[in-house]
Structure 1
Amino acid sequence: MRILSIQSLVSYGHVGNSAAVFPLQRIGVDVMPVPTVCFSNHTGYGAWSGPMLSGDNVRDIVSGIEDRGGLENVDAVLSGYQGGNDIGDAILDAVARVKKHSPNAIYACDPVLGNATSGCHVSPEVQDLIRDRVVPHADLIAPNQFELGFITGTSPDSLSSTLEAADKARAIGPRTILVKNVVRPDRDPDTVEMLAVTDDGAWIVQTPQLPGKANGSGDVTTALFTAHLLRSGDAADALARTAASVFELLEITAASGQRELQLIAAQEAYANPSMRFTPTKVR
């Protein structure tokens, strides 16, 4: 399996490609990482160093890959945070190039917009870009519940309303929706839930909620789910494997007392997930 992953790169810590690439490689995926920024660390620290790449920089890298024949036999294009129209246009151009050479490739997009606590934390330009131009071109999207609501103009706050919002998103373009954080009033407050919706049905999986917040865990989640779904074609299996791997990664990170994901220490969780969480079919 081969994936072109267009995301941010940090040298210290793990977000974007610095979070997604190694877990994918550990499960046997050939990853071609393309950076959108080259920062010392993620911006959550409040200070960082390094350059932002332009859309033309991204196009140049993808063009060089294309010249080597690297866009043949690609299974997916994966993208995360998009800083503006410049990068967004370059990613959409890369998707078109890949599908020209690999017609069966999918575009898997993590539509990073914000969360229910702080609202949208990207510019209005990026909000419009994601909702109006990126999502319609995606085959798979992996929003949180807030982002799903923003994309569809809804306010999902229950399982039924989240399923309805997922159907509205699927009507826009993507056939597969992974909702990475479903919050509903009848859920055990000490748990976290993810929902996958495809043409074949909908499944939800529940795991215990661990203390703390680790930047980059969403990037790992999207990457692993995309790869597992491509490999098996079974959304329930992909959801179970992803939930098991990410939970163990977060468990190891919490036990370490470190702020950054313990991506290397948890590597067996990607290759041999414990499969301790069983998704429930809800439709």
Structure 2
Amino acid sequence: MRFLSIQSHVAYGHVGNSAAVFPLQRIGHEVWPVLTVNFSNHTGYGEWGGPLIPADDVRAVVSGIEDRGVLPTVDGVLSGYLGGEEIVDVVVDAVARVKAANPEATYTCDPVMGNATSGCFVADAIPPLIREKVIPHADIITPNQFELGYMTHTEPEDLESTLASADAARDLGPRTVLVTSVLRPDREAQPDGGETIEMLAVDDESAWIVATPRLPIKANGSGDVTSALFTAHYRETGSAATALERTASSVFDLLQATLDSGERELRLVQAQDAFAQPRMQFSARQVR
């Protein structure tokens, strides 16, 4: 498959396109990265160098790709962090162009707004823009549990309320919702009593949940990898359960490799076999 990925780029580390492109390539897909920023490193360090790419320049890159006559071959569009209204408009326009050229293409939006630990960390104008201008055009969205509640004005906590929040998100337009970083009080513990963390996938056919051990690590860019892999596996297999199991397997092994390394940045290259040949060590459970 071929993906047009409109996201940030960093030279050092792995977030945005620097996280999403290589795993997709490693499992055999073509990716055309369109950069929205070109930073030295992700902003979590507090200091960084490099430019924001002006919206007109981002649009020009998309137009240049369109001029090659290849948009009919695009299977999916991906987007992650959106820095402002002008970039929002560029992404929405790019999705419209791709879908006009190939009505079977899908758009996956990772609605980056914040997390349960930090709260909302984007400008106040961003969540309404995502909810009102972007989400209605998406086929797949991949919010974490906090973002799911924030954009649907709900409080996903236990399984029932998280499913209801996912359905509220689907009412906004997308047919498939992948909820990451699900920490519900009624989740199952590991056999040894250790904590788990879950992902929930909901589409028109069913809903599935998968639990993995919760590792003591905060890894920037892991959500970008998750969104990319789930999209590719879901498009390839048509099965939310299979996509969920493959994605959970690969991302867990990536995070474990990163934790074992003692490094701050994802060990994306070192863990590449986890993308190409996921161990499938976790089973999804149907919850609807």
- Normalised by the shorter chain, which TM-score bucket? over 0.9
Describe the superposition over 1:91-146 as per-residue Cα deviations: whole angstroms up to 9, x where unpaired.
00000010111111011000000112221111111111111111111110000111
2:62 aligned partner:
62
Separation (CA, whole Å) in 2 of partners of 1:191 and 1:224: 21
Read off the aligned partner of 1:28 and give its amino acid letter.
G
What secondary structure does 1:179 align onto? strand
What secondary structure does 1:180 align onto? strand
1:259 aligned partner:
264
Describe the superposition over 1:225-259 as per-residue Cα deviations: whole angstroms up to 9, x where unpaired.
00000000000000000000000000111110000
Q: Please provide the CA RMSD for this pair.
A: 0.8
2:107 aligned partner:
107
Aligned-residue identity in percent: 65
Structure 1 runs of 4+ aligned residues shifted over 4 Å read none
1:213 aligned partner:
218
Separation (CA, whole Å) in 2 of partners of 1:222 and 1:35: 17
Q: Does 1:174 align with 2:174?
A: yes
2:149 aligned partner:
149
Show the 5 A alignment for 1:260-279: 260-279=265-284
TM-score by length of 2: 0.97
TM-score by length of 1: 0.99
2:198 aligned partner:
193
Read off the aligned partner of 1:192 and give its amino acid letter.
I
What secondary structure does 1:52 align onto? coil
Separation (CA, whole Å) in 1 of partners of 2:214 and 2:119: 22
Read off the aligned partner of 1:277 and give its amino acid letter.
F
Separation (CA, whole Å) in 1 of partners of 2:206 and 2:99: 26
What secondary structure does 2:279 align onto? coil
Show the 5 A alignment for 1:115-126: 115-126=115-126
Read off the aligned partner of 1:272 and give its amino acid letter.
Q
Q: Does 1:222 align with 2:227?
A: yes
Comparing 51-60 and 33-42, the one that deviates more:
51-60
What secondary structure does 2:38 align onto? strand
Read off the aligned partner of 2:212 and give its amino acid letter.
T
Separation (CA, whole Å) in 2 of partners of 1:250 and 1:183: 17
Separation (CA, whole Å) in 2 of partners of 1:98 and 1:251: 36
Separation (CA, whole Å) in 1 of partners of 2:143 and 2:217: 20
Q: Alpha-carbon deviation of 1:73?
A: 1.4
Separation (CA, whole Å) in 2 of partners of 1:74 and 1:197: 24
Q: Does 1:36 align with 2:36?
A: yes
Paired residues in the alignment total 283
Read off the aligned partner of 1:205 and give its amino acid letter.
V
What secondary structure does 1:72 align onto? helix
What secondary structure does 2:125 align onto? helix
Separation (CA, whole Å) in 1 of partners of 2:43 and 2:81: 12
Describe the superposition over 1:159-215 as per-residue Cα deviations: whole angstroms up to 9, x where unpaired.
100000111111110000000111111223611100000011000000001121111
2:7 aligned partner:
7
Q: Alpha-carbon deviation of 1:15?
A: 0.2
Q: Alpha-carbon deviation of 1:70?
A: 2.4
Unmatched runs of 5 consecutive residues or more in structure 2: none
Comparing 125-134 and 219-228, the one that deviates more:
125-134
Separation (CA, whole Å) in 1 of partners of 2:208 and 2:54: 38
2:245 aligned partner:
240
Q: Does 1:204 align with 2:209?
A: yes
Separation (CA, whole Å) in 1 of partners of 2:217 and 2:211: 18
1:92 aligned partner:
92
Read off the aligned partner of 2:132 and give its amino acid letter.
D
Separation (CA, whole Å) in 2 of partners of 1:216 and 1:172: 26
Read off the aligned partner of 1:240 and give its amino acid letter.
E
Separation (CA, whole Å) in 1 of partners of 2:54 and 2:180: 29
Unmatched runs of 5 consecutive residues or more in structure 1: none
Read off the aligned partner of 1:214 and give its amino acid letter.
A
